[in-house]
């Protein structure tokens, strides 16, 4: 075999051409064209060989390689060509009609949508008119047939701090037309003239936090509309859509002089929704929209404000947290606030961008792709960010208030008012970090009902005012009955807020905070004719309207107005300190047991002692040994040569220590925090007397609630267990100022009375009906009538039986129960809202009534017939009961307000109708002292000399003045055991 040649000889041989070949070539070194075994002449030229080569066979064997080579070649060529092309070659392409080819376009909005959007742009960009008082303005709410009214001989408190004496006021066309002396009117004019006889006339009261119409009286599940508690963020709901114009509370609240109310959603949600301002005048249409203060206004003249409610702190996190939902903490609250505000800000920016684009295009040749961006759930928040909404925020604690201010700065909105804000007095400087001067809409002295309300101080309004922050007082109706909102101002005056500033806090300050200070809250020419004629100075205890006008329309029946005999009025410079006697007690040492008190205005000690002053009271070794005009001749023996201390009380009163009953003092400190209390007894139908719970086993002393009550002159508390059972338990009587039950004299009586309760609020699985509750009482008392246990003692009258009940028919059942089954039992009614309707029968059955609270409301169905007082009713239940000879005591329905017990009694005396059964000062004081001692059987023996006659008195308190007046306070407490202690 010859040697294989290199070069072309190395190309593989085609199989078809070599099928007879004995040795086909498989060498990997074959060349591209094969060898000469294909029959070609070795002398053939290369070109001949190429032309004659069998390419079909090559493609079959090397097709993949060939294709790859071609692809690579194309890519290389394309890349080289691209390097030489221009960046934009569209203009160089010789394409025909290239100017008529455009990219696909979206469908644009119609011209009508564009115009509608542009109108919205103009609306949000338009400057609001500035609301200013105008003496020539018209009231858009005025009715065409209202008769003009001329009030003559008035003392005007104008709501802005000024007092005008002996002026006339003309109400015409729904506005205040004139305020002058000696206004003359034409004889031809059809006008009603009322001589107010020197009474104070003021603007209507403005309540800037109410749930009136949403929480209708009486409470029924079908009419409860306060919280849309399905989501923590509901800024889109509106109180207008739920406001009930037939709420019984509207007329009651107006009877207290409240003419305007900002009705807010509740505080379960962080963003509760939009609020609306209503005038409390009924309208013929029964339309809640027609009751709006802004009904019919000209928006070119008056800025049409909107209002919103938000809430932070305990309420939202506690409500949603218990369901495992966000927010569960204040951190969650802050995030949700910021998240939703950020959504609103994004929508606001989108609207601004749309307006910018829409206002800069030619609608003839261009159109926008989308309509004006809107989202209903964010609309009110966007309005807030635009400054069209006055925001009212429910916040209590310092860090909650600060967080909201931080949010307002981050998202560039303003807060009109912080509501409640009981800790605001601690951080005025932080509040001033906000972009505007925020109003603090707070309570006068309502406190302690939950943790965030526990640090409150009644001096808060005074502190905030002195810090330069606007202070408003509000009701949070029905938390406080808005009917008595002016009483909140009076209490703030007691705690140091200047009187006229206190009155401004319920008139012009809230009016300004809700953006309506040009129409309401002041008694000036051009303002709405919302006017109140008062029976006494508005800040006096028991102040009640004689008549109320809204838009110039009188709300109540006209009654004769007696002229004021003593025209004593406050001035703008009067302070509460100037109205209070300053008694020097520096010479009195703690636990001192002897002293001479001179210039005593009055001594009322129990039923036996009522001495008008000025008198002297000589106390020696813990006993009163002389009460007379002159005790200087009374001989005393002393083991020391120390001189007798003399104290001039400057007309102050001496009365017994007050007694708090019906409260939970000593058994719970913060009602919403279970760990701070004894706990609540569950319902049980047990007949075993050993199952009766005793309050003495759960009492805790030295609490803040007890301390505040003590400083208010409440020296004794009688507290029953906290219970949901028909059998509440056995109450205990103890001293409020004691350190512990081991302190000598702290425990007055460990087992005082058996307490029972019946009614709708006591229904349970054990007692599903009121009738079963009464049947149970009958059974257990009958079963144990002769036994030596608490049931038996109650049945036999050895201890009192206190039964909590309000409804007249349920009270009647208790009267029958005594008459038919337990004639010796000492039944006592606690609550008694409708007790006046069976007053005669209560007197005949010798059943006392402890009114709790002293002023009722028809807030529950079982209290529907309660007497709310003048001008709607001639007195209250207390006045009717007293007239029929029923022994009366007053109970405490709110532990935090136990310190106001003297004022509760004073209110009943001050508002007593001038008819048979008038409640005197002495009667009122007995309601909260000796009457309660007698009802509970706590009368003690302690000899007191009154004009040389021995009387039985336990202890007394010296007050700076009449304890039934607002500007009096307890100064010193004395008992035989403890001696003297300054309060």
Rounded average pLDDT over 165-177: 97
b/e string for 148-160 if b means 16 or more Cβ within 10 A?
A: bbbbbbbbbbbbb
Measured CA to CA in angstroms, residue 237 lies from 229, 273, 826, 919 at distances of 11, 5, 53, 48
Q: Which of 238, 270, 237, 417 is nearest to 338 (CA)?
A: 270
Sign of CA pseudo-dihedral 780, 782, 787, 790: positive
Q: Which of 424, 391, 421 is nearest to 408 (CA)?
A: 391
SS (H, E, C) 249-312: HHHHHHCCCEEEEEECCCCCCCEEEEEEEEECCCCCCCCCHHHECCCCCCCCCCCCCEEEEEEC
The residues spanned by each domain of the chain are 7-53, 205-520, 592-657+940-983, 658-928
The structure tokens 């008035």 sit at 154
Say how far apart CA 830 and CA 915 lie, in whole Å: 26
Phi-psi region of 802 (alpha: psi -120 to 50; beta: other; left: phi over 0): beta
One fold for 592-657+940-983 and 658-928: no
Cβ-contact 171, 549 below 8 angstroms: yes
DSSP assignment string, 862-918: GGTT----TTTSSS-HHHHHHHTT--EEE--S-GGGGGGHHHHHHHHHHT--SSTT-
b/e string for 722-744 if b means 16 or more Cβ within 10 A?
A: bbbbbbbbbbbbbbbbbeebeee
Cβ-contact 681, 729 below 8 angstroms: yes
Measured CA to CA in angstroms, residue 715 lies from 413, 901, 926, 972 at distances of 50, 11, 15, 11
Rounded average pLDDT over 605-634: 89
Residues 504-538: pLDDT tens digits?
Answer: 999 999 999 999 999 999 999 999 999 999 999 99
Say how far apart CA 802 and CA 428 lie, in whole Å: 47
Helix (H) or strand (E) run with residue 171 in it: strand 163-172
Rounded average pLDDT over 671-689: 97
Measured CA to CA in angstroms, residue 169 lies from 511, 557, 930, 950 at distances of 21, 20, 47, 58
Say how far apart CA 583 and CA 970 lie, in whole Å: 11
Lowest mean pLDDT: which of 89-93, 638-642, 695-699? Answer: 89-93
Cβ-contact 654, 624 below 8 angstroms: no
Q: What are phi and psi of 528, to 5 degrees?
A: -55, 145
Q: Other C-beta atoms within 10 Å of 639: how many?
A: 6
585 vs 783, more confident: 783
Lowest mean pLDDT: which of 73-87, 95-109, 134-148, 693-707? Answer: 95-109
pTM of the model: 0.87
SS (H, E, C) 315-379: HHHHHHHCCCCCCCCHHHHHHHHHHHHHHHHHHHHHHHHHHHHHCCCCCCCCCCCCCCCCCHHHH
Lowest mean pLDDT: which of 144-148, 470-474, 688-692, 760-764? Answer: 144-148
Q: What are phi and psi of 156, to 5 degrees?
A: -95, 125
Q: Residue 630 above 80 pLDDT? A: yes
Helix (H) or strand (E) run with residue 549 in it: strand 545-550
Q: Residue 575 above 60 pLDDT? A: no
Residues 731-788: pLDDT tens digits?
Answer: 999 999 999 999 988 999 999 999 999 999 999 999 999 999 999 999 999 999 999 9
Q: Residue 156 above 60 pLDDT? A: yes
593 vs 374, more confident: 374
User: Residue 12: what pLDDT?
Assistant: 42
Q: How far is CA 330 from the centre of its chain?
A: 19
Q: Which residues are CB-neighbours of 393 under 8 A, at least 6 positions away?
A: 309, 310, 311, 312, 404, 415, 417, 418, 419
Q: Residue 706 above 50 pLDDT? A: yes
Say how far apart CA 943 and CA 609 lie, in whole Å: 12
Domain 592-657+940-983 belongs to what topology? Urease, subunit C; domain 1 (2.30.40)
User: Residue 772: what pLDDT?
Assistant: 98
Say how far apart CA 68 and CA 769 lie, in whole Å: 96
User: Residue 26: what pLDDT?
Assistant: 42
Cβ-contact 756, 665 below 8 angstroms: no
CATH 3.40.50.2300 is right for the domain spanning 205-520: no
Which architecture, in CATH terms, is 658-928?
A: Alpha-Beta Barrel (3.20)
Residue 283 burial by Cβ neighbours in a 10 Å radius (0-12, 13-18, 19+): middle
């Amino acid at each position: 075999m010859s040697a294989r040649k290199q070069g072309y000889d190395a190309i593989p041989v085609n199989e078809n051409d070599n099928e007879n070949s004995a040795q086909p070539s498989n060498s990997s070194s074959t060349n591209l064209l094969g060898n000469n075994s294909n029959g070609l002449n070795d002398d053939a030229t290369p070109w001949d060989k190429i032309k004659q080569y069998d390419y079909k066979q090559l493609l079959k064997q090397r097709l993949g390689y060939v294709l790859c080579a071609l692809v690579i070649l194309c890519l290389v060529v394309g890349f080289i060509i691209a390097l030489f092309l221009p960046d934009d070659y569209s203009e160089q392409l010789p394409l025909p009609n290239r100017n008529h080819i455009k990219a696909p376009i979206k469908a644009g909005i119609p011209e009508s949508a564009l115009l509608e959007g542009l109108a919205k742009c103009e609306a949000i960009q338009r400057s609001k008119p500035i609301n200013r008082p105008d003496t020539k303005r018209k009231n858009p709410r005025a009715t065409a047939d209202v008769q003009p009214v001329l009030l003559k001989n008035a003392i005007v408190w104008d709501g802005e701090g000024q007092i005008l004496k002996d002026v006339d006021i003309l109400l015409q066309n729904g506005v205040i037309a004139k305020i002058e002396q000696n206004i003359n009117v034409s004889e031809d004019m059809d006008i009603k003239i009322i001589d107010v006889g020197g009474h104070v006339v003021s603007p209507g009261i403005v309540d800037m936090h109410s749930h009136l119409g949403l929480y209708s009286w009486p409470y029924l599940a079908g009419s409860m509309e306060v919280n849309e508690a399905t989501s923590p963020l509901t800024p889109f709901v509106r109180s207008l859509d739920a406001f009930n114009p037939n709420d019984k509370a509207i007329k009651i609240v107006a009877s207290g002089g409240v003419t305007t109310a900002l009705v807010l959603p509740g505080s379960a949600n962080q963003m509760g929704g939009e609020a609306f301002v209503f005038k409390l005048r009924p309208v013929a249409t029964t339309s809640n929209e027609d009751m709006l203060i802004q009904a019919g206004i000209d928006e070119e003249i008056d800025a049409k404000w909107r209002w919103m409610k938000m809430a932070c702190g305990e309420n939202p996190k506690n409500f949603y947290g218990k369901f495992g939902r966000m927010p569960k903490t204040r951190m969650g609250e802050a995030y949700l606030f910021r998240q939703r505000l950020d959504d609103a800000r994004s929508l606001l920016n989108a609207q601004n961008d749309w307006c910018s684009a829409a206002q800069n295009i030619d609608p003839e040749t261009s159109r926008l792709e989308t309509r004006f961006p809107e989202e209903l759930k964010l609309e009110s928040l966007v309005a807030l960010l635009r400054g069209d909404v006055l925001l009212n925020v429910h916040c209590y604690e310092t860090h909650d208030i600060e967080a909201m201010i931080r949010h307002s700065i981050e998202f560039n909105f303003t807060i009109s008012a912080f509501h409640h804000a009981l800790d605001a007095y601690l951080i005025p400087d932080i509040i001033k970090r906000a972009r505007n001067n925020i109003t603090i809409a707070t309570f006068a002295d309502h406190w302690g009902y939950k943790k965030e309300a526990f640090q409150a101080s009644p001096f808060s309004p005074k502190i905030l005012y002195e810090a330069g922050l606007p202070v408003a007082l509000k009701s949070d109706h029905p938390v406080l009955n808005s009917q008595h909102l002016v009483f909140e101002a009076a209490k703030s005056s007691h705690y140091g807020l200047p009187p006229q500033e206190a009155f401004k806090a319920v008139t012009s300050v809230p009016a300004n905070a809700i953006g309506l200070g040009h129409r309401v809250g002041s008694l000036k020419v051009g303002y709405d004719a919302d006017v109140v004629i008062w029976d006494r100075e508005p800040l006096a205890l028991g102040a009640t309207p004689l008549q109320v006008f809204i838009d110039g329309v009188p709300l109540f029946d006209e009654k004769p107005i007696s002229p004021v005999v003593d025209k004593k009025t406050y001035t703008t410079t009067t302070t509460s300190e100037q109205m209070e006697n300053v008694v020097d007690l520096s010479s009195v040492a703690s636990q001192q047991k002897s002293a001479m008190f001179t210039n005593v205005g009055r001594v009322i000690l129990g039923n036996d002692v009522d001495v008008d002053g000025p008198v002297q009271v000589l106390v020696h070794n813990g006993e009163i040994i002389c009460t007379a005009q002159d005790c200087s001749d009374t001989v005393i023996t002393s083991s020391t040569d120390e001189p007798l201390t003399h104290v001039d009380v400057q007309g102050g009163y001496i009365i017994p220590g007050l007694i708090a009953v019906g409260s939970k003092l000593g058994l719970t400190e913060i009602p919403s925090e279970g760990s701070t209390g004894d706990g609540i007894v569950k319902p049980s139908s047990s007949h075993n007397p050993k199952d009766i719970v005793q309050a003495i086993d759960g009492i805790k002393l030295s609490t803040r609630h007890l301390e505040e009550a003590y400083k208010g002159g409440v020296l004794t508390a009688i507290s029953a267990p906290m219970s949901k059972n028909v059998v509440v338990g056995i109450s205990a009587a103890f001293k409020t100022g004691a350190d512990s039950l081991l302190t000598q004299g702290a425990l007055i009586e460990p087992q005082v009375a058996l307490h029972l309760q019946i009614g709708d609020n006591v229904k349970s699985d054990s007692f599903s009906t009121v009738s079963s509750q009464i049947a149970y009482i009958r059974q257990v008392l009958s079963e144990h009538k002769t036994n030596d246990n608490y049931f038996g003692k109650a049945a036999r009258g050895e201890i009192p039986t206190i039964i909590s009940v309000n409804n007249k028919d349920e009270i009647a059942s208790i009267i029958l129960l005594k008459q038919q089954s337990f004639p010796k039992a000492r039944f006592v009614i606690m609550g008694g809202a409708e007790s006046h309707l069976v007053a005669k029968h209560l007197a005949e059955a010798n059943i006392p009534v402890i009114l709790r609270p002293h002023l009722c409301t028809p807030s529950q169905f079982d209290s529907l017939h309660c007497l709310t007082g003048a001008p709607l009713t001639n007195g209250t239940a207390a006045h009717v009961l007293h007239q029929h000879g029923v022994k009366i005591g007053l109970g405490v329905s709110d532990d935090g307000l136990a310190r106001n017990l003297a004022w509760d009694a004073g209110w009943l005396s001050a508002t007593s109708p001038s008819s048979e059964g008038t409640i005197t000062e002495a009667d009122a004081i007995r309601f909260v002292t000796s009457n309660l001692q007698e009802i509970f059987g706590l009368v003690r023996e302690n000899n007191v000399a009154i004009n040389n006659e021995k009387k039985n008195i336990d202890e007394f308190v010296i007050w700076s003045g009449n304890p039934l007046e607002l500007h009096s306070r307890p100064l010193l407490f004395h008992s035989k055991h403890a001696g003297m202690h300054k309060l």
